[in-house]
Structure 1
Amino acid sequence: MDAAGWDERYRGSGLVWAAEPNRFVEQELAGLPAGRAVDLAAGEGRNAVWLAERGWEVDAVDFSAVALAKAERMAAERGTRVRTVRSDLTAWSGPEAVYDLALIAYLHLPWPLVARVLRQAASAVRAGGTLLLVGHDASNPAHGHGGPQDPDVLYTAEQVAAEWKPYARILRAEAVIRPVESADGRHAAIDALVRAERL
């Protein structure tokens, strides 16, 4: 889906996604000291705002102007702020070695484009900083619930870890289960989770 398509999806007054941060983002990052962060594919800003509430200085990057406006609104309502950056991540090139954290949550594009974003994220993080990716795992369509069904836009934790290995020490790379409540009951989604420390 292109930026116009996402703008249309986000256009309603309510949130498309929950206001709370992703469970794995919260679990992995809650103990980190605040610094400067970039949230790539930030959407409506639930993770960016959560970080900002914890003292982080956050750049929220997305190509949907509608989503970024919602992120700004959510931050203001919670008494904090995020800096929004409208950019197509396939062309994004952040500043080098300035962030303490780069977060990528549920970015799903063909693998060569995701790999480029992973490399850009790594170059934007300073030594000792954290890289975190959470996304729908390639095994999810067959064994999990929800998420994209196109295998061309899915990946595994191992693929992501291999892309980051030249730049970072891999701390965690695995498929994780995420409980999902829907109208027809409780399900289990399978996500890829990779956390790394920049060399």
Structure 2
Amino acid sequence: MFKIFWLLLVVMPGVSAVADEFRPKGANAYQVVTGDDQEEDRGQWDALFNTQTYVFGRDPAQFLKEVVARLPLGRALDIAMSEGRNAVYLAKKGFRVDGVDYSEVALRKAKRLARENHVSVNTINADLSTYTIRPDHYKVIVNINYLQRSLMAQIKKGLKKGGMVVFESWTVEQLKNGSGQRVRRDYLLEKGELKEQFKDFEVLVYRETNDGRNAVA
């Protein structure tokens, strides 16, 4: 039986990581690109990341820091890696990391962050809607601040025996908060949905909260 770590955050951890002065006009840390044209989507993501500043910061997600000591060393996959903060952190901890993202601009920044930290991250430029995770290949799969339900089965198949998943994403509770007003419901997890999706896994950590600003699960 696989083990799984879960912490689902409805907002970006560390809201201050995306400072107002570096936010593209009309965009924020909670906004999801929803255009139907793939190249338009790519352009919007590239525009978001096209700044010397790291949009989501250089520091890893707090939950990843909390559980990293319990993760089995080996090859790790960071889904929707963006600028590499979590991938680089894992590499510094001794993991061999593959990071996949749609934005070439974000991947270039991830490589830069890796060089600055004297580690290596294998970057993969791909559209996750058509990307295939290599089966039975990873000891750890990290999915933070991203939700694509069609990837759930692939995440499970991509793990080696005894592998672990670290999953963090928004839930529908965020719609009750000011920062969730512009987010489409289908980009949010329903209450208890992720736990149900991984009911065949051993759950080591799971919690759902909403303090009025951050709705987390």
* TM-score of the superposed pair, with normalisation by structure 2: 0.75
Partners of 2:190 and 2:88 lie apart in 1 by 27
Aligned partner of 2:47 in structure 1 is: 8
Is 56-65 or 144-153 further displaced after alignment?
144-153
Aligned partner of 2:134 in structure 1 is: 95
Residues 146 and 189, structure 1, Cα contact 8 Å, conserved in 2? no
Aligned partner of 1:181 in structure 2 is: none
Aligned partner of 1:138 in structure 2 is: 172
Amino acid at match of 2:71: L
- 2:206 partner SS: strand
1:24 aligns with 2:63: yes
Which whole-Å deviations, capped at 9, do the CAs of 1:92-134 have from their partners, x for residues lacking one? 11111110001100114xxxxx221111111111111001110
Superposition deviation, residue 39 in structure 1: 0.3
Q: Which of 179, 189, 195 does residue 155 from structure 1 map onto? A: 189
Is 55-64 or 129-138 further displaced after alignment?
129-138
Q: Which of 91, 95, 101 does residue 52 from structure 1 map onto? A: 91
Count of residue pairs brought into register by the alignment: 178
Q: Which of 101, 112, 125 does residue 62 from structure 1 map onto? A: 101
Which whole-Å deviations, capped at 9, do the CAs of 1:20-59 have from their partners, x for residues lacking one? 0011111122332421100000000100000000000000
* TM-score of the superposed pair, with normalisation by structure 1: 0.82
Residues 157 and 174, structure 1, Cα contact 8 Å, conserved in 2? no
* Structure 1 residues not aligned, in runs of 5+: 109-113, 179-186, 193-199
Amino acid at match of 1:151: R
Question: Counting strand residues as a fraction of each chain, which structure ranks higher?
Answer: 1
Identity %: 29
Aligned partner of 1:83 in structure 2 is: 122
Q: More relative contact order in 1 or in 2 (CA 8 Å, sep 6+)?
A: 2
For residues 33 and 154 of structure 1, do their structure 2 counterparts lie closer, same or farther at Cα, with a shift above 3 Å needed?
same
* Structure 2 residues not aligned, in runs of 5+: 1-32, 34-40
